[in-house]
Chains A and B, each alone.
Chain A
Amino acid sequence: MIRTRLVAQRLAFLFLLGCFFFNYPLLSIFNQGGSLFGMPPLYAWLMGSWLFLIALLALVIERKHG
């Protein structure tokens, strides 16, 4: 539940993580020629980290409280 403070804070942490993933300076590391999994590194990084972030969001929000 989003209502609990802890979950909201975990999500906010993912927000910060996303800000880091999707911005300078991390992007400049991947901004180069060559190929990663058959894709340009920047494209592969953005799509990969985006999907990873979505998976984390789902994990945090859908996890049942034990």
Chain B
Amino acid sequence: MLQGWVVVLASFLYLGVLFGIAWYADRRADQGRSLIANPVVYALSLGVYCTTWTFYGSVGRAAANGIGFLPIYLGPTLLFALAGFILYRMIRVAKANRITSIADFVASRYGKSQLLGGLVTVIAVVGVIPYIALQLKAVSNSFTILSNYPEIVMPAAAGAVPLFQDSALYVAMILAAFTILFGTRHLDATERHEGMVAAIAVESIVKLVAFLAVGAFVVWGLHGGVADIFARAAEVPEVARRLTRADTSASYGSWGTLVFLSLFAALLLPRQFQIAVVENVDVKHLNRAVWMFPLYLFLINLFVLPVALAGLLHFPAGTVDADTFVLTLPMAHQQEGLALFVFIGGLSAATGMVIVETIALSTMVCNDLVMPLLLRLRWLGLAEKADLSGLLLEIRRWAIAIILGLGYLYFRVAGEAYALVSIGLISFAAVAQFAPVVIGGLFWKGGTRDGALAGLAAGFVLWAYTLLLPSFAKSGWLPEGFIAHGLFGIELLRPQHLFGLSGLDEITHCLVWSLLANLGAYIGVSLLRVPNAREARQASLFVGGTDLAGHTAWGGSAGVADLLPLAARFLGRERAEEAFLRHARSRGLKSVDELPGDARLANFAENLLAGAIGSASARAMVASVVSEEPLGLDEVMNILDEASQVRAYSRELEQKSQELTRATADLRQANERLRELDRMKDDFISTVTHELRTPLTSIRAFSEMLHEDPKTDLEQRTKFLGIIVSETVRLSRLINQILDMAKLESGRAEWTVSAIDVDEVIREAADSLTALYAEKRVALDLDGLHPGLTVMADRDRLMQVMVNLLSNALKFVPTDTGRVKVGAEGTASEVRVSVTDNGPGIHAADHEVIFDKFRQGSGGTDVLTDKPQGTGLGLPISRQIIEYFNGRLWVESAPGAGACFLFTLPRQASDNDAKQTQGGSQ
């Protein structure tokens, strides 16, 4: 029942369904309810990467060399792992600049160069044509095989069939017609095709299910599972050698080459760029695709090796082309329905690729090649024509037809010499030439138009010489000697052993030379000069993601009156007016006429046109009506500088503000401390004044009495004078101590540090007080002293402390029964001195108070009213001195139980040496 007409009918029915889906999706898009605004649809539409190469060719490749089909799918997996760094940026840049194709992308990046856009287009068209031929070959072969059912007949060589009996010709014509219907029904300002994407997503499902179906049939229908197939294959030596790889460095080298080649291809093939970047609805959809697209690739490759092995086991060697195993295995087992489904799956793979690829290429041909040329030909008068939108569509239709025609031509010329995969790899190597300018353009600002032109041209020429021309030679269209003996018989120029390089497979060999020349020329030529103004502006848009929305390349101005008709000529009146009205509304204006003729409007018009005719042409067209004040290099540099300065400045500001916050906190702290000190100073002054006034008052009172009453008797007079003298002594001691205190506190005191025997100092201090102790009949017990304890300290200061403590004790002990005991003991690290008395003792609450200035403890009485002798500065000064030497001074006491003043000083001398050099600080 699988006659030719059944197959044809099924094919047309399937294409009709696809068209219906596309039509419905387009209608939904017009209603604003997009079908494809969905991450899963986006991921599925990326499946356009899998063509008949995958569907038929992978099995053929696997039958030839086992696992070797796989790198082509591992590369894209790795690419999507890098999505955040490459694809994400490309989509953002493309959306911001209305990029419509890879040619547009490259042209726009290097200063909107028409020449560059044209070169990329030529490379893409020439490079991809073998790939299209591959699809034609696969579809026509599978059709021929299927329509011969139940016999399995391999198709005759393409060249041998008369032209009009060649099914590939009709396949090409039908695909051309279908693509034209699909892609060029109307002109969209953004060059997006919602209907097409929806259809591609459906096709991705169909081809996946078809392949999984045949895989399941082969694995479980014909064999007992995957392990069974591998076990049987291992038994047949001829088949078993596909299970491992030739373990040579060259083999791993070409494996790695294919991984990275396919990584680039999945990014740079015109159709991949179209689907992944141009047709992307929302950049967030990329998230899901990062794992879903690799998963799709994984699933479609799941059964490739088992099917290939089963084919090898089933068909005698050489009778059936391994590229057709997917189809011939079900046919050999009379599975008519499955065979037809497989054919439809293959058709899906082919139509998906051809439709997207040729639409992408036709856009490039039209925008970057034909239109710039036509607009240059002044005698055609195109620049003055009112409506060019029809012409644009016409050009694209012709471009589609011609590209498919070229694909067919290549199929006739070279299609027989290669297996499917080998043909496809030629195209992969061609688009890999875009990698340096595209990826370099995303990360390096220094690339120039000249560098990009040189790199692409060098890479393209070497690709053609080492890969494309040999494919012609192998088919007999060029003399065989070209491959064997080189151009003009020069051995060094043998295309597949260029300059004597050997040991590589032809793809790796081509990539080594072409990418080396490409990259070298791109970088080398770029470095010959500084990027000009336009290049620098575009570079900053692509690389830095600098938002120049506020700035514009248009220095001059043009009114709506000029720009609207210009846009209308390419987009059609209605679409142009609609777009302008939207723009006006977005700026808060009611109608198009209110739009001011400013640079922003010119920018908008340029962007709008860029969607239809490419960025380079759009710039040229807008320039023709806008009185462009050419943007000087200085001006652009200013803009860029400004932008980067603003960025740097804001970073700086942020830093400054943080510093400021810190400084503020510090200041507040310092301020609080200052206030505290200020308050303390006030207290101090008022206390000092009070302390000074007391003796002064009594001196004055007694002096006045003596002065006013000269008749005072001698005894009285002697008594008064005695008081005056003792008060004066007290006053001068007080002043001395205040000065001393001030010196200590300000850190201006002078210290003479040396090793001191504590025992000796204490005895000396005791000696100086012997008279006073004797006068009050107080016993001074020095039995607790041990000679030989040494500390690093200032001898006089330590003496001052001892005298202070001893006289302090003397003040508080009772006359006659008073006892003061001095002790000193040493531990490993410090010397501890104690002065114990049997005075009234000190309240625990006063233990710290007594070390404050002008506060004196006095048993239970109020500290400030009932004063014994003394100034109230002795203890604070002593504590300052002891602390200066890293010691501690404190008191242990309870009321009624006497008091014990203790201080410690470190025995080690090292610290104090350092202190000495600093001159003291407190």
Could you tell me which A residues sit within 8 Å of B by CB distance?
1-3, 7-9, 11-12, 14-15, 18-19, 22-24, 27-28, 31-33, 35, 37-40, 42-43, 46-47, 50-51, 53-55, 57-58, 61-62
Q: Is the CB of A12 within 8 A of B85?
A: yes
> Which of A8, A11, A24, A61 is most buried by chain B, counting CB atoms within 10 A of its CB?
A61
Residues A22 and B71 in contact in the complex (CB < 8 Å), given A2-B84, A8-B84, A43-B243: yes
Residues A39 and B230 in contact in the complex (CB < 8 Å), given A28-B247, A61-B290: yes
Q: Is the CB of B291 within 8 A of A57?
A: yes
Q: Is the CB of B259 within 8 A of A23?
A: yes
Cβ of B77 within 8 Å of any chain A Cβ, yes or no, is: yes
User: How many Å from the CB of A31 to the closest CB on chain B?
Assistant: 5
* Beta-carbon contacts under 8 Å, B253-305 to A: 255-256, 259, 284, 286-288, 290-291, 294-295, 298, 302, 305
Q: Is the CB of B78 within 8 A of A2?
A: no
User: How many Å from the CB of B87 to the closest CB on chain A?
Assistant: 9
Residues A42 and B291 in contact in the complex (CB < 8 Å), given A35-B230, A50-B77: no
> Which residues of chain B come closer than 8 Å to A42, judged between CB atoms?
67, 243-245
6 A-B residue pairs with CB within 8 Å: A2-B287, A24-B252, A38-B225, A40-B230, A50-B77, A54-B291
Residues A11 and B84 in contact in the complex (CB < 8 Å), given A19-B78, A38-B226, A54-B294: yes
Q: Is the interface of B mostly helix, strand, loop or mixed?
A: helix
CA distance A33 to B252 in the complex (A): 18
Residues A23 and B245 in contact in the complex (CB < 8 Å), given A7-B84, A8-B85: no
Cβ of B70 within 8 Å of any chain A Cβ, yes or no, is: yes
> Nearest 4 CB-CB pairs, A to B?
A38-B227, A8-B84, A24-B252, A58-B291
CA distance A55 to B735 in the complex (A): 86
User: How many Å from the CB of A10 to the closest CB on chain B?
Assistant: 9
CA distance A4 to B56 in the complex (A): 40
> Which residues of chain B come closer than 8 Å to A37, judged between CB atoms?
227
Q: Is the CB of A11 within 8 A of B244?
A: no
Q: Is the interface of A mostly helix, strand, loop or mixed?
A: helix
Residues A31 and B244 in contact in the complex (CB < 8 Å), given A40-B230, A53-B77: yes
User: How many Å from the CB of B253 to the closest CB on chain A?
Assistant: 8
Q: Is the CB of A14 within 8 A of B81?
A: yes
User: How many Å from the CB of A1 to the closest CB on chain B?
Assistant: 7
Cβ of B884 within 8 Å of any chain A Cβ, yes or no, is: no
Which of B70, B284, B295 lies in contact with A46, CB distance below 8 A? B70
Residues A12 and B230 in contact in the complex (CB < 8 Å), given A33-B243, A58-B291: no
> Which residues of chain B come closer than 8 Å to A46, judged between CB atoms?
67, 70, 74
> Which residues of chain A come closer than 8 Å to B234, judged between CB atoms?
33, 35
Q: Is the CB of A31 within 8 A of B245?
A: yes
Q: How large is the interface on B (under 10, 10 to 19, 20 to 34, 35 or more residues)?
A: 35 or more
Given contacts A8-B85, A40-B244, 17 further A-B contacts (CB under 8 A): A2-B290, A11-B290, A23-B259, A27-B252, A33-B243, A33-B244, A37-B227, A38-B231, A43-B67, A43-B230, A43-B305, A46-B70, A53-B294, A54-B298, A57-B291, A58-B291, A61-B288
Cβ of B82 within 8 Å of any chain A Cβ, yes or no, is: yes
> Which residues of chain B come closer than 8 Å to A7, judged between CB atoms?
84
Cβ of B182 within 8 Å of any chain A Cβ, yes or no, is: no
User: How many Å from the CB of A27 to the closest CB on chain B?
Assistant: 7
> Which residues of chain B come closer than 8 Å to A43, judged between CB atoms?
67, 230, 243, 305
CA distance A47 to B81 in the complex (A): 17
Cβ of B178 within 8 Å of any chain A Cβ, yes or no, is: no
> Which residues of chain B come closer than 8 Å to A1, judged between CB atoms?
284, 287
Q: Is the CB of B244 within 8 A of A57?
A: no
User: How many Å from the CB of B917 to the closest CB on chain A?
Assistant: 51
Cβ of B88 within 8 Å of any chain A Cβ, yes or no, is: yes
User: How many Å from the CB of B212 to the closest CB on chain A?
Assistant: 15
Which residue on chain B has the smallest CB distance to residue A55?
B291
> Which residues of chain A come closer than 8 Å to B231, judged between CB atoms?
35, 38
User: How many Å from the CB of B81 to the closest CB on chain A?
Assistant: 4
Residues A28 and B82 in contact in the complex (CB < 8 Å), given A39-B230, A43-B243, A61-B287: no
Cβ of B80 within 8 Å of any chain A Cβ, yes or no, is: yes
Q: Is the CB of A54 within 8 A of B84?
A: no
CA distance A2 to B85 in the complex (A): 9
Cβ of B83 within 8 Å of any chain A Cβ, yes or no, is: yes
Q: Is the CB of A11 within 8 A of B82?
A: yes
CA distance A50 to B67 in the complex (A): 14
Q: Is the CB of A50 within 8 A of B74?
A: yes
Residues A2 and B83 in contact in the complex (CB < 8 Å), given A28-B247, A43-B305, A57-B294: yes
* Beta-carbon contacts under 8 Å, B530-558 to A: none
CA distance A63 to B286 in the complex (A): 15
User: How many Å from the CB of A22 to the closest CB on chain B?
Assistant: 5
Q: Is the CB of A31 within 8 A of B82?
A: no
User: How many Å from the CB of A44 to the closest CB on chain B?
Assistant: 10
CA distance A39 to B305 in the complex (A): 11
> Which residues of chain A come closer than 8 Å to B247, judged between CB atoms?
28, 31
CA distance A55 to B230 in the complex (A): 26
CA distance A49 to B361 in the complex (A): 36
Q: Is the CB of B226 within 8 A of A39?
A: yes
Q: Is the CB of B81 within 8 A of A15?
A: yes
CA distance A2 to B88 in the complex (A): 8
> Which residues of chain A come closer than 8 Å to B256, judged between CB atoms?
23-24
Which residue on chain B has the smallest CB distance to residue A14?
B81
Q: Is the CB of A54 within 8 A of B252?
A: no
> Which residues of chain B come closer than 8 Å to A51, judged between CB atoms?
298
0/1 string, B219-251, CB within 8 A of A gives 1? 000000111001100100000000111010100
> Which residues of chain B come closer than 8 Å to A9, judged between CB atoms?
84
CA distance A33 to B85 in the complex (A): 39
> Which residues of chain B come closer than 8 Å to A27, judged between CB atoms?
245, 252, 255
Which residue on chain B has the smallest CB distance to residue A4?
B84
CA distance A27 to B234 in the complex (A): 20
> Which residues of chain A come closer than 8 Å to B287, judged between CB atoms?
1-2, 61-62
Residues A11 and B259 in contact in the complex (CB < 8 Å), given A18-B78, A39-B226, A51-B298: no
* Beta-carbon contacts under 8 Å, B428-449 to A: none
User: How many Å from the CB of A16 to the closest CB on chain B?
Assistant: 9
> Which residues of chain A come closer than 8 Å to B74, judged between CB atoms?
18, 22, 46, 50
> Which residues of chain B come closer than 8 Å to A50, judged between CB atoms?
74, 77, 294, 298
Q: Is the CB of A22 within 8 A of B259?
A: yes
User: How many Å from the CB of B328 to the closest CB on chain A?
Assistant: 23
> Which residues of chain A come closer than 8 Å to B78, judged between CB atoms?
15, 18-19, 22
Q: Is the CB of B67 within 8 A of A28?
A: no
Which of B77, B80, B255, B294 lies in contact with A23, CB distance below 8 A? B255
* Beta-carbon contacts under 8 Å, B834-861 to A: none
> Which residues of chain B come closer than 8 Å to A24, judged between CB atoms?
249, 252, 255-256
CA distance A12 to B85 in the complex (A): 8
> Which residues of chain B come closer than 8 Å to A47, judged between CB atoms?
298, 302
> Which residues of chain B come closer than 8 Å to A12, judged between CB atoms?
81-82, 84-85
CA distance A33 to B237 in the complex (A): 12
> Which residues of chain A come closer than 8 Å to B70, judged between CB atoms?
46
Q: Is the CB of B81 within 8 A of A57?
A: yes
> Which residues of chain A come closer than 8 Å to B85, judged between CB atoms?
8, 12
Which residue on chain A has the smallest CB distance to residue B305?
A43
> Which residues of chain A come closer than 8 Å to B290, judged between CB atoms?
2, 11, 57-58, 61
User: How many Å from the CB of B226 to the closest CB on chain A?
Assistant: 6
